Amino acid sequence: MDVSLEQLRTLAAVVDEGTFDAASVALGVTPSAVSQRIKALEVACGRVLLTRSKPVRPTPPGQAMLRLARSSTQLADDTARELGLGTSRSHTRLPIAVNADSMATWFLPAVARLPARHRAVFDVHIDDQDRTFELFSSESVLAAVTSVARPVPGCSVTPLGTMRYFACAAVDFADAHFPDGLTPSALATAPVVVFNRKDSLQHRFLRELAGRDLDPPTHHLPASADFLRGIQLGLGWGLVPVLQWQTLSDADSIVGLAPDRPVDVPLYWQVWTLDSPALQALTSVVTAAAAHSLLPVPAD
């Protein structure tokens, strides 16, 4: 298989930008050139690599080629910088998947500590901690904070720590909906706040408490700050990260509903095994910040 770095870089650009036209702008070439490069790459591979949808998506063979594109372009950019061949404005792009609660608490200060000499720009994809692994395993990102400890072939996995949550609600909401505590009948009718339709954390907690699946009225608030604000305003109850609760100026605006039933979510750092100084430095600052902020991951 004879493919060029230019073709691989174009494949990554099309996936990242979502359309051929947007990729042409990002690469500074014509849409025709982008189309020709992708067609030549597909001919070389003998496979269709992209679905021509909006946004464009990689096919299963395209995901394999995207992994090669990510690693090859990252190494090429690192080498160019090491040899002094990059322009003064050249930066290395680091696509990362992060769960929203980490992003809202400890993760952003961590990446801000990445030494400036790496000239990195971050392309952060935010999702539920159970879903960031899907972005990682599809080769859409180079690294991810995820709740999945199972390694993808070609990557390394480092335990980061445990994110602890407590079921919380506004004081008036708790008094109105749980006068007798978290009974199954109260949990079945009390509105609950979840991050988005992929977020199953609250419903797993309900199942553990009630011993069966429950389907209470549900608010979807897909932003970490809005999620917490919705709970404070009495829209419903939800599982709040201790790290976020502790930083509230009005921490007594919400109360714990089950202080003896914390929900612990172990987090892991999955990163492609590349000889990339920028990725290695990113791993260092992320794992150091996690060790300072999170609880230890329980031993198996």
Residue 52 lies in a domain: no
What distance in Å separates the CA atoms of residue 63 and residue 137, rounded to the nearest whole number? 9
**Judging by DSSP bridges, how do beta strands 238-241 and 120-127 pair with one another?**
unpaired
Hey, CA dihedral for 185, 188, 194, 198, is it positive or negative? positive
Residue 257 lies in a domain: yes
Q: Which of 22, 4, 1, 5 is nearest to 13 (CA)?
A: 22
* Per-residue pLDDT, 89: 47
CATH number at residue 239: 3.40.190.10
Residue 118 lies in a domain: no
Q: Which H/E stretch holds residue 102?
A: helix 100-102
Residue 145 lies in a domain: no
**Neighbour-count burial of 130, counting CB atoms closer than 10 A to its CB (0-12 exposed, 13-18 middle, 19+ buried):** middle
Number of domains the chain is built from: 1
Residue 183 lies in a domain: yes
Tell me the percentage of the chain whose pLDDT exceeds 70.
92
* Per-residue pLDDT, 300: 62
pLDDT above 80: residue 72: yes
What distance in Å separates the CA atoms of residue 155 and residue 142, rounded to the nearest whole number? 9
Residue 281 lies in a domain: no
Measured CA angle at 150 (ends 284, 266), to 5 deg: 65
Q: What is the pLDDT of residues 241-255, one digit of tens each?
A: 999 998 888 878 899
Residue 35 lies in a domain: no
Q: Kindly report each contact of residues 117-121 with a partner whose C-beta sits within 8 Å and lies 24 or more positions away, as own/partner.
A: 118/92, 118/277, 118/278, 118/281, 118/282, 119/81, 119/90, 119/91, 119/92, 120/91, 120/92, 120/93, 120/94, 120/278, 120/282, 121/91, 121/92, 121/93, 121/94
Residue 49 lies in a domain: no
Q: Residue 196 sits in which domain range?
A: 163-264
Q: What is the pLDDT of residues 85-101, one digit of tens each?
A: 654 446 778 889 999 89
Q: Which of 78-87, 120-129, 142-151, 217-226 holds the top average pLDDT?
A: 217-226
- Find the mean pLDDT for residues 144-154: 85
Q: What is the pLDDT of residues 78-134, one digit of tens each?
A: 777 677 665 444 677 888 999 989 999 999 999 999 999 888 889 898 876 666 666
Would you place residue 3 in the very low, low, confident or very high pLDDT band (cuts 50, 70, 90)?
Answer: confident
